[in-house]
Amino acid sequence: MLFYVTHEGKEHCIRVESRRNRLYVKFDDHAEERLDIVFHGNNCSFVRGNNVFYANVLGNKSDYTVWTPERTLQFKVESEHKRIVSKLRGDDLGADNQICAKMPGKIVRILKKSGERVSKGEPVVVMEAMKMENEIRSTMAGTVDRICTKVGAAVETGELLMELTPEDQ
Amino acid sequence: MSHTPKRILVANRGEIALRVMRATREMGHIPLAIYSKADRQSLHVSRAEAAYCVGEGPSIHSYLRVDAVLEAAKAMNADAIHPGYGFLSENAAFAKAVSEAGMIFIGPSPEVIATMGDKVSARNTMEKAGLPLVPGTKEGTEDENKAFADAKGIGFPLMIKASAGGGGRGMRRVDKEEDFLPLFRRASSEAAKAFGDGRLYVEKFILSPHHIEVQIMADAHGNVVHLFERECSAQRRHQKVIEEAPSPYLKPDVRKAVCEAAVEACRNIGYTNAGTIEFLVDANQNFYFMEMNTRLQVEHPVTEWITGQDLAKEQIRVAFGQKLSFKQEDLRCNGHAFEFRIYAEDPEKFLPQAGLLRGASFPSGVGVRIDSHAYRGYEIPVFYDPMIAKISVWGRTREEAIERSKVALSETMLNGVKTNTPLHFQLLEHPDFVRGNYTTRMIEENFTFKQPEMDANRLEMAAISVAVSAFSKEFEAAAIEGDENSRWKFVARQEALR
């Protein structure tokens, strides 16, 4: 399973595999290595080479905090699977008032009517792409100004689906 | 006294409640607790023989309620009340109410508490009792010529302060004689505007101030002893951060003089029980009375380390009318001790943190003492002081104590909230601190907290541990929630099925 782990803006590609009850890791483009790592609750004891790393590893979905004796580290984690899904949903859409298709696909449902209020993160359109149905979410709170697509339409990447009038802060 | 067990209510919370309850049990007495609704989880409740809820989370609705505390004492048949520190510990009316309700207040008399609780009466009393005060004029004046004459008598630099003052308004530092009059006029009009009172007084400005305090114990039989001094100059915004005993700064003859002066003053005012006299010590080792704390101090463990005495037990003995268990000549200052106050706060921004303590590993080993009411799974309430632990460390020498402290701090992992542990570590490496000559201004003027660098290899290991944890969570999602330890068993079981 592949994870994108980011610390202070630097992203690493870490592949973790478990085979025959053993854990293996591939860090960026280094060679794969067998892991000697033990968790007791959140306490992590990790021996790599002869180096000992002892820390408390706490995660909440994508945000991880690692407490080491010297300092606290913050990490962002995203699995490969999550990254694909969020791409489909258009989660990384800009902060403007347009909701666009992030992948080519078909519009399955439109969940909001023109003039209807939407809150930030609320699903507005359901799209089918790569045989998966995905909700496209609004990136802001506002009112639906214009719907630019219809159910059954085949859309291309970047195609405009909906325009919003942003809510005053 | 050990034949009749007494029921002692500790009218406090957290680590100090635990501390006093330990002493209580050790002496064969029965510890009773009070708690607010927000403190039900605190360890001090579980370790008591009986406990009584005194109200809602905010201390004004619980720990500060004299009526509720007395009601708790009555309900649990308390014979005596130990107030701990903070809350009602220096409330003369509370001390009086406790005695009037037929119980023993473990502390000095209400009269002494009242006198020392007021800045002006405390200074007047202690001056009469023989302690030096910071040189200055006692009465405020608007007459600039009179003030100027006084100022020349005191010498520069000095401080101009508003009689009605507070919050820095009407306050000026004057370095040179020729600056005095213009600054006086400005301060006076500022004070008049702010407080409707333009009177000002002048006080000597203490260069390079050290905060040094003397621990006193006194019984009702006329025995007054000191248990040496502590230095608490490592402060931030008047909040002590690290305390040590003995002071690395005081010269032996000054130490002797300041400790003896404190004993003499306490004898003169008829003080009983534990007390601390705080002094300001200047660059020439002149000492001046600041204030007296009529209770057990947060930092008492460092004194216990160097003297081998138990101050809480001694307080209880004395309160029940017994003599102190030691005499001045029995006390030796042995080795060196530090105390680190562990606060749930961001070490960079100094913001308090509330929340769930997701992990708690405390240090141990020779000369390491932990006072804490926190544990893994403990939720830090928002209503109180964010101190969650005190780590105190003893060494045969100051150098040994510093090195041992570093090890202890590096073993301290309190997770889920940010703590100031890294700050302590960096202070221990500050050149002024290492030298043992640091003033109350060190942290604010001569120290910046740096986020410690992490070497690349350890950072990689951290990233891998995160990925592995995320990996195991993918499996765990399907497993029964709640048992964190089952993660690997579950993965193993899954693997076995393949």
For chain A, domains (ranges, CATH) are 2-79 (3.30.700.30), 90-166 (2.40.50.100)
Per-residue confidence (pLDDT) for residue B347, from 0 to 100: 84
Cβ distance B168 to B158 under 8 Å?
A: no
Per-residue confidence (pLDDT) for residue A163, from 0 to 100: 87
Q: Which residues of chain B have a CB within 8 Å of the CB of A31?
A: none
**B409-433 CB burial, b ≥16 within 10 A, e <16:** bebbbbbbbbbbbbbbbebbeeeeb
Query: What's the whole-number mean pLDDT along residues B50-73?
Result: 96
In this structure, what CATH number is given to the domain that contains residue B102? 3.40.50.20
The proportion of chain B whose per-residue pLDDT surpasses 70, expressed as a percent, equals 94
For B124, phi and psi rounded to 5 degrees?
-65, -45
State the nearest Cα–Cα gap between B495 and chain A, in angstroms: 6
Q: Are residues B225 and B183 in the same domain?
A: no
Beta strands in B328-437 (DSSP E): 336-343, 355-356, 359-361, 368-372, 379-380, 387-395, 413-415
User: Out of A16, A44, A73, whose CB is closest to B454?
Assistant: A73
- Tell me the C-alpha to C-alpha distance, in Å, between residue B255 and each of B147, B410, B436: 34, 33, 15
Q: Are residues B230 and B369 in the same domain?
A: yes
Checking if the pLDDT of B480 tops 50, the result is no
Query: What's the whole-number mean pLDDT along residues B69-97?
Result: 97
Query: What's the whole-number mean pLDDT along residues A93-119?
Result: 82
Range of B152's domain? 144-204
- Report yes or no on B129 lying in a domain: no
In this structure, what CATH number is given to the domain that contains residue B168? 3.30.1490.20
Per-residue confidence (pLDDT) for residue B481, from 0 to 100: 44
Per-residue confidence (pLDDT) for residue A61, from 0 to 100: 78
Q: Are residues B183 and B200 in the same domain?
A: yes
Alpha-carbon distance of B48 to B42, in angstroms, equals: 11
Model confidence over B391-432: pLDDT tens digits? 999 999 999 999 999 999 999 988 888 899 999 999 999 999
In this structure, what CATH number is given to the domain that contains residue B232? 3.30.470.20
Cβ distance A163 to A142 under 8 Å?
A: no
Alpha-carbon distance of B341 to B419, in angstroms, equals: 10
Alpha-carbon distance of B236 to B447, in angstroms, equals: 11
Per-residue confidence (pLDDT) for residue B166, from 0 to 100: 65
Q: Are residues B386 and B479 in the same domain?
A: no
Closest CA to B15 of B394, B387, B409: B387
Query: A74: exposed, middle or buried (C-beta count within 10 Å: 0-12, 13-18, 19+)?
Result: exposed
Per-residue confidence (pLDDT) for residue B488, from 0 to 100: 55
- Report yes or no on B489 lying in a domain: yes
- Tell me the C-alpha to C-alpha distance, in Å, between residue B17 and each of B47, B106, B231: 10, 13, 24
State the nearest Cα–Cα gap between B387 and chain A, in angstroms: 19
Per-residue confidence (pLDDT) for residue B162, from 0 to 100: 85
Per-residue confidence (pLDDT) for residue A83, from 0 to 100: 84
State whether B465 and A1 contact (CB < 8 Å): no
Query: What's the whole-number mean pLDDT along residues B258-273?
Result: 97
Number of compact structural domains in chain B: 4
Backbone φ/ψ region at B176: left (φ over 0), alpha (ψ -120 to 50), beta = beta
Checking if the pLDDT of B314 tops 90, the result is yes
Q: Which residues of chain A have a CB within 8 Å of the CB of B474?
A: 1, 79
User: Out of B359, B474, B495, whose CB is closest to A42?
Assistant: B359
Model confidence over B376-388: pLDDT tens digits? 999 999 899 899 9
Query: What's the whole-number mean pLDDT along residues B52-73?
Result: 96
Checking if the pLDDT of B173 tops 60, the result is yes
Query: Which one-letter DSSP state was computed for residue B169?
Result: B
């909230």: which residue's tokens? B417
pLDDT bracket for residue A76 (50, 70, 90): very high
Alpha-carbon distance of B498 to B490, in angstroms, equals: 13
Q: Are residues B167 and B232 in the same domain?
A: no
Q: Which residues of chain A have a CB within 8 Å of the CB of B472?
A: 39
Model confidence over B317-363: pLDDT tens digits? 999 999 999 999 999 999 999 999 999 998 888 888 888 998 888 99
Q: Are residues B50 and B65 in the same domain?
A: yes
pLDDT bracket for residue B167 (50, 70, 90): low
Q: Rounded to the nearest 10 degrees, what angle do helices B110-117 and B119-128 cross at?
A: 110
Model confidence over A35-47: pLDDT tens digits? 999 998 888 999 9
Q: Are residues B175 and B239 in the same domain?
A: no
Per-residue confidence (pLDDT) for residue B482, from 0 to 100: 44
Q: Are residues B328 and B302 in the same domain?
A: yes
- Report yes or no on B119 lying in a domain: no
Query: What's the whole-number mean pLDDT along residues B63-87?
Result: 97
Mutate to test the interface with A, among B469, B484, B491, B495 (most CBs of A within 10 A): B469
**Average pLDDT value over all residues in chain B:** 92
- Report yes or no on B488 lying in a domain: yes
- Report yes or no on B295 lying in a domain: yes
Q: Are residues B380 and B461 in the same domain?
A: no
The proportion of chain B whose per-residue pLDDT surpasses 90, expressed as a percent, equals 76
Q: State yes or no: is B441 an active-site residue.
A: no
Checking if the pLDDT of B69 tops 80, the result is yes
Checking if the pLDDT of B10 tops 90, the result is yes
Query: What's the whole-number mean pLDDT along residues A69-95?
Result: 77
The proportion of chain A whose per-residue pLDDT surpasses 70, expressed as a percent, equals 93
Q: Which residues of chain B have a CB within 8 Å of the CB of A41?
A: 359, 376, 484-485
Catalytic residue among B13, B65, B295, B341: B295
pLDDT bracket for residue B1 (50, 70, 90): very low
Q: Are residues B188 and B258 in the same domain?
A: no
Q: Are residues B491 and B393 in the same domain?
A: no
**Average pLDDT value over all residues in chain A:** 86
pLDDT bracket for residue B4 (50, 70, 90): confident
Checking if the pLDDT of B2 tops 50, the result is no
Task: Using DSSP, state whether A1 is helix, strand or coil.
Answer: coil
Q: Are residues B218 and B347 in the same domain?
A: yes
Query: What's the whole-number mean pLDDT along residues B162-174?
Result: 79
- Report yes or no on B112 lying in a domain: no
Per-residue confidence (pLDDT) for residue B445, from 0 to 100: 92
When computed from its CA atoms, the radius of gyration of chain B, rounded to whole angstroms, is: 26
Checking if the pLDDT of B483 tops 80, the result is no
